[in-house]
Structure 1
Amino acid sequence: MNEEQLSAWLRLSFAPKLGGVALSRLMSVDSPQNLVRYSVQQLQHLGLKDTQIQYIQQDSNREVESCLQWQADSDEHHILSPLEPDYPYLLSQMSSHPPVLFIKGNLAALNTPQVAIVGSRHASVDGLKAAKDFAFQLAQQGLTITSGLALGIDGHAHDGALLANGTTVAVLGSGVEQVYPARHNGLAQRIMQNGGALVSELRPDAKPRAEHFPRRNRIISGLSQGVLVVEAAERSGSLITARYAIEQNRDVFALPGSIYQSGFAGTNRLLQQGAYLALNPQDIMDELNPHVSSLQSHAQHSQPQLDLTYAADGTQTANKTQTENKTSAFTRQALPFPQLLANVGNEATPVDILAERTHIPVHEVMMQILELELAGHVVSVPGGYVLNTGNKPK
């Protein structure tokens, strides 16, 4: 992809309040390279607001130039759109795949067979040991370990893979030049030095923000053949990753824990709902071996081909069928966040009003509504959120 094409992808991807569904609809009309050349009237006709048009045509210049310069600064800096052959194949199968990815480190690591290991930032000693041991042994078996570089389970999973001289990928809720938490700067360097990579859908200089982390979880699961949840409380971000994994037709594994410790309530609940019980790394290898072999065969014999034909609701229809075929009992649970969903109707409702109606803190409403949007239950519109009547969940 040449610089002009990549520039067009960046302009559209970073346009304010232009969500994944709206972006998909735009791309079904024309290529990004052509869309950025449209007149103001043409873009208005496509439903874009004045602020979005202003950004695409003028205000994005500095940010786009900064990103392109960042890529030119090093052979280990990469920006990928879904049309690039190196764009991770499994990630491209998601209906909400990132329109651009920023990678710092070894680009090839993203297309290796991966297992995600996630869990609590405040894990027990046993949980931390299990994360490191499982990562170590799975890396020895040739699997890349993917996690979120957070404190606790994530950091120990990355470290376990490195101790085995294996490859590990860190997906950030910040830009790749803004490692968070800062105390993991050294760990991030070791990841890259050992053939791994840092990955983000955010601009390289983007600061960490609370709303970025739930969204990055879909990338962690999307890159992986399976997700292992080591230790998680009942309302843990790791459970968001597990839910994304199921929607993406990935296997979910969980370690059991004491029923008397709240830190294991989430993992025990996953097991109750049909997640695979993992007592040792071999349990994961036995289940994933067919998927790993299939991915390796695909990587050896073909280049990823992304179907950019979208349904009316902005999702890729082939992927929707694949997700619906998942028969685990875990997938047949109730709709997520029913209290919040019950307060979203056909008229735009702002986040602060939703928080007032549900008595849920605003920051939690933002996390929940984002997950509902990614799952296709609600749609972001000017003034708030409405039910997505064109994509009713089954």
Structure 2
Amino acid sequence: MHDTDPIPPDGHADLLADWIRLAEAPGVGCRTAQLLLERFGSPASILRAGRAALAAHVPAGVAAALSAPPSVEIARLVEQTLDWLSQPSHHILTLHDADYPESLRHIPDPPLLLYINGQRERLQQSLVAVVGSRNASTQGRANAENFARALSEAGLCVVSGMALGIDTAAHEGALQGAGSTIAVIGTGIDRVYPARNRALAHRIAEQGCIVSEYSLGTPPVANNFPRRNRIISGITAGVLVIEAAAQSGSLITAQMAAEQGREVFALPGSIHSALAKGCHQLIREGARLVETVDEVLDAMRVSPLVRQAAPPVLEPDSPLLAALGHDPVEPDALLERLDGDAAALAGELLALELAGLIERLPGGRVQRVVRAACSAWCVPREGA
């Protein structure tokens, strides 16, 4: 018999202990645990089944570990988890809980436990992921923030991984809209990584929620971050990739999304930019090329909505900005286009950089930064 209610903070310590023992058992991953749950029904039944019965389904060593009494470490972890769970806005959902995200429940290896800090009801909203490079360009961060803000204003909750770069910009943008944001992290729920996102993590926990499958105290381990990506794609209806190098971890998220039957969107970039290579690869492999938020919303069938024009960009009437275009340019090429003086060009480039209208790229190249949302704003129809 499956449990049907989330674990409450005021009891059911044994139930929680059983789920933690199953999740933390050596040699038991999500797929093995799911197999055992299908055979025995619940963690309690698995742990009581005995070594011989378990050995018919798992290796002998795993059967022995599951049959052994709980260790001191597990008992301590359960105690710490119950203490954490007793605090406001802290929740744990098990795979058998009624409000465990349904789309996540049906991926090949769903997490047994979801630790949640914040508004767990956000998981029941319409969700879309926005992910990309940690080493994002200024333009990439602006695009991520603008897209995420527009998606959130359209009522979608934006999911990302709270990494630096595109993830951080996406969370910041989404927090400006009613849809808010969810951060899926690769550490224990009681850790903040990277540390410089501590203030952002507090805002997400207050206005959205933070989600982890890892037990309390789990440090940032490299292998955990690619694995958490299946949760990002698993809880969402689509994944938008904004800037990704050829070997980016964001491509893992996109691949998982495609395998899970989710929509995959990619923002194209300059053919000269290394950060566009991953997005172009996704487009060649079948991802939707998108240039506006409307295209994402149309694909996700978000309605009823009214499109409104994005606010115009008020930029200086600068011949240099016009000469820059939107691709990275060598300063020498700019000199040729403008037939100007090198010292004067350097001064004007510095002024534009300080104003946030251009950025300098590796190798001395410069690129224009468009600050307005490259999308239409979407708001519900009046009376809808």
Same fold (TM over 0.5): yes
Residue 68 of structure 1 corresponds to: 82
SS in 2 for 1:58: coil
Q: Determine the C-alpha separation between the residues in 2 that align with 1:166 and 1:51.
A: 43
Q: CA deviation at 1:64?
A: 2.5
Letter in 1 for 2:240: L
Deviations for 1:295-324, whole angstroms, at most 9, x for unmatched residues?
Answer: xxxxxxxxxxxxxxxxxxxxxxxxxxxxxx
Equivalent residue pairs, number: 290
Structure 1 residue 20 corresponds to structure 2 residue 30: yes
Alignment match, 1:119:
132
Distance 1:26 1:173, change over 3 A: same
Shift, 1:41, TM fit: 4.0
**Could you say what the CA RMSD is over the residues aligned between the two structures, in angstroms?**
1.8
CA contact (8 A) 2:114 2:212 kept: yes
1:181: Cα distance to partner?
Answer: 0.1
**Counterpart-to-counterpart distance in 1, 2:82 and 2:45:** 19
Tell me: CA distance 1:275–1:45, structure 2 relative to 1, closer, same or farther (3 Å): closer
- Percent identity over the alignment? 41
2:191 alignment partner, one of 157, 162, 178: 178
**Pairs within 5 Å for 1:50-69:** 50=61, 53-54=64-65, 57-59=69-71, 60-69=74-83
CA shift, 1:48, in A, is 4.3
Distance 1:51 1:66, change over 3 A: farther
Say whether the 8 Å CA contact 1:169–1:199 is kept in structure 2. yes
Q: Map 1:81-120; keep pairs closer than 5 Å.
A: 81-120=94-133
3-state secondary structure, aligned to 2:151: helix
Indicate if the aligned counterparts of 1:86 and 1:107 stay in contact, CA closer than 8 A: no
Q: Is 1:228–2:244 an aligned residue pair?
A: no
Q: Counterparts of 1:203 and 1:172 in 2: how far apart (Å)?
A: 12
Distance 1:209 1:58, change over 3 A: same
Match in the other structure for 2:13: 3
Q: 3-state SS of the aligned residue for 2:245?
A: coil
SS in 2 for 1:27: helix
Q: Counterpart amino acid of 2:92?
A: I
CA distance in 1, matches of 2:149, 2:203: 15
2:25, 2:65 within 8 Å by CA — same for their partners in 1? Answer: no
Q: 1:50/1:57 Cα in 2 relative to 1: closer, same or farther (>3 Å)?
A: farther
CA gap of 1:51–1:223, structure 2 versus 1, over 3 A, is closer
- Give the superposition deviation at 1:117: 0.2
- Give the drift of 1:51: 6.5
1:137 has 2:150 as partner: yes
Note if 1:271 corresponds to 2:279. no
Q: TM-score, normalised by structure 1?
A: 0.70
1:214 and 2:230 equivalent?
Answer: no
Counterpart contact for 1:171–1:199, Cα < 8 Å:
yes
* Alignment equivalent of 1:157, drawn from 170, 180, 202: 170
Question: CA shift at 1:202, angstroms?
Answer: 0.0
Q: What is the rounded CA distance, in whole Å, between the counterparts of 1:211 and 1:52 in structure 2?
A: 25
For 1:115, what is the secondary structure of its paired residue? strand
Larger Rg: 2
Unpaired stretches in structure 2, ≥5 consecutive residues: 6-11, 305-384
For 1:62 and 1:40, the matched residues in 2 are separated by: 24
The CA distance in 2 between the partners of 1:68 and 1:52, in whole Å, is 27
Conserved 8 A contact 1:36-1:57 = no
